[in-house]
Structure 1
Amino acid sequence: MSDLQIRPFHPDDAPAVAGIARRCLLEVNALDYPTEIVEALCARNTAERFLDSTARRQIFVASLGGSEGVRVVGTVSLEGNEVCSLFVDPDVHGRGVGRLLMECVEHEVAAGGHAWVELNASVTARRFYVRLGYVDLGARDAEFGVIHAMRKSLGRRASN
């Protein structure tokens, strides 16, 4: 995907990011979670919520250029050394977008002096993170179903 770019989130991206989150939840996560959990997560991942979260999180988007113009195809948010969310347009799953977004946040986390990246993975995404080198620290029940606490060492000592 030579025309893929990772860049900081811009407020104008909020509707596209919320749309991608909704599609992921309805088309991908719905395979592993009950309808009521998926609907609750859809209600939570709105354009307004993404805009509000910029006050405490770094958000990046993946954009893809084509004959129809540039479109947002993925997003990841980061708070300190914790990945808070990752969504990739189902139309481009398996094409490296999620991996590139995670490389971006891992770089940001390392630049911030942290020794590891942490996240809570959905049942659906667990295998993806394992392939990227994350260690599953265990599953637990959470507000929106079962999640897996995961961590990846960045191979350096923390300075904070």
Structure 2
Amino acid sequence: MAYKIAFFGAKPYDIASFDKVNEKYNYDIRYYKGHLNPNNVVLTQDTDAVCIFVNDTADAAVIDAMVNNGVKLLALRCAGFNNVDLKAAKGKLPVVRVPAYSPYAVAEYSLALMLSLNRKIHRAYWRTRDGNFSLNGLIGFDMHGKTIGIIGTGKIAKILIRLLKGFGMRILA
């Protein structure tokens, strides 16, 4: 009998990636577009594991209902777990989560957003699509030599600081 997993808040990219991995395991995966909540927790009936994301609700009532439905594991597709009542789950339902996201990916994305804002890339993209090649209102500034303030110096910030130093920026953290 195949291990049954219910995915809530499933997006097309979730389905594609998990189906690809599942080719190796042949789990019985059920995808639901809706977010887990007290009104649809019945869908976890006879499921071994439930996989949720950030907008799903796993409060005490939902956890108790999942346990009563036979769920043996709650897995989160995210690092945060503020949507899960860990006290209610303790001793009843193991909860696992993503330990961390790639700090490089987050720092690089932050830098990409900074560059996009500074160089007005989004506005330039739309103008170009419209056949408007005017530079008016699209001029940014050199980041080199500028001072930037960063609040916090965790893993992501340390990587971002290294990237920004490569741009020749002065860092206040």
Calculate the TM-score normalised by the size of structure 1.
0.28
Q: Relative contact order: is structure 1 or structure 2 higher (C-alpha 8 Å, sep ≥ 6)?
A: 1
Bigger radius of gyration:
2
Higher strand share: 1
Calculate the TM-score normalised by the size of structure 2.
0.27
